[in-house]
């Protein structure tokens, strides 16, 4: 079982707030379930370190282990192996009610028999905070989430967005070391979701608490996070800041999961200084940055984003990556045109062309075109 260290391969993005002790640390955490006598691994060895005040996302498809990882931080699941530390303190076997982290559940999980005020006060009451302090803190947090005047409402009398904010207030009022959010916007419609993304980010800045955010929505993760851990099949594929994740995906999985990307493969023809030149077809030439390990004859997978590619009907010149193909489809998308181009080896390439100046279509179906991009926009993938 391999143990993927945080940021393996790609450069590790610096945590935004410097602190001596990380808010949350996972050390080679493994979670296995036994089902019908068979051991089923959900998390196969995750190590990461989340800094104080950071907005950290666990991103991945369903079943990738992101929720299990979060539930181990919350204490709802005990790791099969490995250590969970909060501010340096080993809490691996500490039950959730004794951990100074709070969770916002996917379905909110508000107490249906209590008013908004009682819901929010629940944690403080259990911690035996004095009554007048509870009153003050509940009042303050309801102001932060903009729910003043709705204290006496029942959860079922409120909209999804309002329930979401109650769930947020109920967790934040305890001033936890970290707030764990499990797909908190999943049940909201698109408009509200976008509004809540901005709202969440604002609240996080205001209260300065570490947020750990679980989502399968790459847009959400890219918008809000300081750093993202992309998970797949129980392992962290890449851990970096949003720009790095998008611009320089480390693995095939990350390239495919985040945004639209084109996957190509070729063989290294020769290495010149800092670049390696690959060949696909007879008139094709791809130049990529060489990391020093590439040598002639290596098979390499690489990716290039659709918006980095220029499409033209004449062969471009210069030190570019250039491939030739035939237009299979042109789709008008409003702000851009999307071309699907088939290369000589049968690979499909998607190209976005901005409608910046005029919406003229460069080429139609069946036309032969050249695609070109800067060498620094394509990378070899692990």
Q: Are 167 and 109 in contact (CB under 8 A)?
A: yes
Helix, strand or coil, per DSSP, at residue 170: helix
Q: What angle do CA 100, 73, 140 make, to 5 degrees?
A: 40
According to CB under 8 A, which residues from 290 to 319 bind other proteins? none
Q: How far is CA 25 from the centre of its chain?
A: 18
d(Cα 50, Cα 53) in Å, to the nearest integer? 9
Q: Report the residue number, 113 or 357, with the smaller CB distance to other proteins.
A: 113
For residue 74, state whether it binds other proteins (rule: CB under 8 A): yes
CB 6 within 8 A of CB 43: no
What's the chain's length in residues? Answer: 382
State the minimum distance, in angstroms, from the CB of residue 62 to other proteins: 17
Question: For residues 72 and 103, which CB has a smaller minimum distance to other proteins in the complex?
Answer: 103
- Closest contact distance (angstroms) between CB of 127 and other proteins is 5
Q: Smallest gap, in angstroms, from Cβ of residue 105 to other proteins?
A: 5
124-143: contacts with other proteins (CB under 8 A)? 125-127
Q: Which residue, 283, 282, 304, 300, is CA-closest to 291?
A: 300
Q: Which residue has the tokens 């190590």?
A: 47
Q: Which residues in 166-185 contact other proteins (CB under 8 A)?
A: 170-171, 174
- For the chain, strand residue ranges (E) read 24-35, 38-50, 55-59, 81-86, 89-90, 101-104, 178-182, 210-215, 227-232, 235-240, 262-272, 275-279, 286-289, 299-304, 310-312, 321-332, 336-343, 348-354, 368-373, 378-380
Closer by beta carbon to other proteins, 71 or else 85: 71
> From CA 380, how far away is CA 306, in angstroms rounded?
16
Q: Which two tokens stand for residue 21?
A: 């002790």
The residue count for binding other proteins (CB under 8 A) is 28
* Tokens matching residue 69: 């990882």
Taking the least distance from each CB to other proteins, the nearer of 170 and 227 is 170
Which H or E run contains 134?
Answer: helix 131-144
Determine, following the binding rule CB under 8 A, whether residue 76 of this chain makes contact with other proteins: yes
Whichever of 173 and 381 has its CB closer to other proteins, that residue is 173
* Nearest distance, CB of residue 199 and other proteins, angstroms: 21
Q: Is 35 in the site for other proteins (CB under 8 A)?
A: no
Please state, in angstroms and as integers, the Cα–Cα distance from residue 62 to each residue in 58, 99, 194, following that order. 11, 26, 21
Nearer to other proteins, 164 or 238 (CB): 164
CB of 290 to other proteins, least distance (A): 49
Q: Is 368 in the site for other proteins (CB under 8 A)?
A: no
Structure tokens at 226: 């300081």
Residue 95 binds to other proteins (criterion: CB under 8 A): yes
CB of 123 to other proteins, least distance (A): 4
CB of 182 to other proteins, least distance (A): 9
Q: How far is the CB of 25 from other proteins (least distance, A)?
A: 20
Footprint of other proteins on residues 211-230 (CB under 8 A)? none
Name the minimum Å distance from CB 98 to other proteins: 8
- Quick note: the x/- pattern for other proteins over 96-125, rule CB under 8 A, is xxx---xx-xxx-xxxxxxx--x---xx-x
- Using the minimum distance from each CB to other proteins, give the nearer residue, 108 or 379: 108
**Where is 315: in which H helix or E strand?**
none
Chain residues that interact with other proteins, rule: CB under 8 A? 74, 76, 95-98, 102-103, 105-107, 109-115, 118, 122-123, 125-127, 154, 170-171, 174
């Amino acid at each position: 079982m391999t143990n993927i260290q945080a940021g393996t391969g790609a450069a590790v993005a610096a945590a935004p707030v410097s602190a001596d002790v990380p808010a949350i640390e996972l050390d080679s955490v493994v979670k296995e379930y036994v089902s019908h006598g068979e051991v089923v691994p959900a998390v196969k060895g995750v190590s990461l370190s989340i800094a104080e005040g950071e907005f950290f996302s666990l991103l991945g498809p369903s079943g990738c282990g992101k929720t299990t990882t979060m539930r181990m931080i919350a204490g709802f699941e005990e790791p099969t192996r490995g250590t969970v530390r909060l501010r340096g303190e080993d809490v691996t076997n500490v039950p959730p009610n004794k951990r100074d982290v709070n969770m916002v559940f996917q379905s909110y999980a508000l107490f249906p028999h209590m008013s908004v005020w009682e819901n929010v006060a629940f944690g403080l009451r259990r911690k035996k905070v004095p009554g007048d302090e509870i009153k003050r803190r509940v009042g303050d947090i309801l102001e932060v989430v903009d729910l003043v005047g709705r204290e006496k409402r029942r959860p079922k009398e409120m909209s999804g967005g309002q329930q979401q904010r109650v769930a947020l207030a109920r967790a934040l009022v305890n001033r936890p070391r970290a707030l764990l959010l499990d797909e908190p916007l999943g049940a909201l419609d698109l408009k509200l979701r976008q509004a809540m993304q901005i709202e969440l980010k604002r609240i996080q800045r205001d209260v300065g608490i570490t947020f750990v955010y679980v989502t399968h929505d790459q847009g959400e993760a890219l918008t809000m996070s300081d750093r993202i851990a992309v998970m797949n099949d129980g392992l962290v594929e890449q851990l970096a800041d949003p720009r790095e994740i998008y611009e320089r995906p480390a693995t095939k999985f990350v390239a495919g999961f985040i945004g639209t990307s084109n996957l190509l493969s070729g063989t290294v023809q020769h290495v010149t200084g800092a670049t390696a030149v690959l060949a696909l077809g007879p008139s094709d030439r791809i130049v990529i940055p060489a990391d020093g390990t590439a040598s002639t004859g290596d098979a390499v997978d690489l990716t290039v984003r659709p918006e980095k590619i220029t499409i033209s009907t004449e062969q471009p010149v210069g030190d570019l990556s250039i491939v030739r193909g035939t237009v299979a489809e042109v789709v008008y998308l409003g702000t851009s045109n999307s071309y699907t181009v088939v290369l000589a080896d049968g690979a499909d390439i998607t190209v976005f062309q901005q409608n910046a100046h005029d919406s003229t279509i460069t080429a139609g179906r069946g036309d032969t075109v050249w695609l070109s991009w800067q060498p620094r926009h394509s990378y070899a993938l692990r």
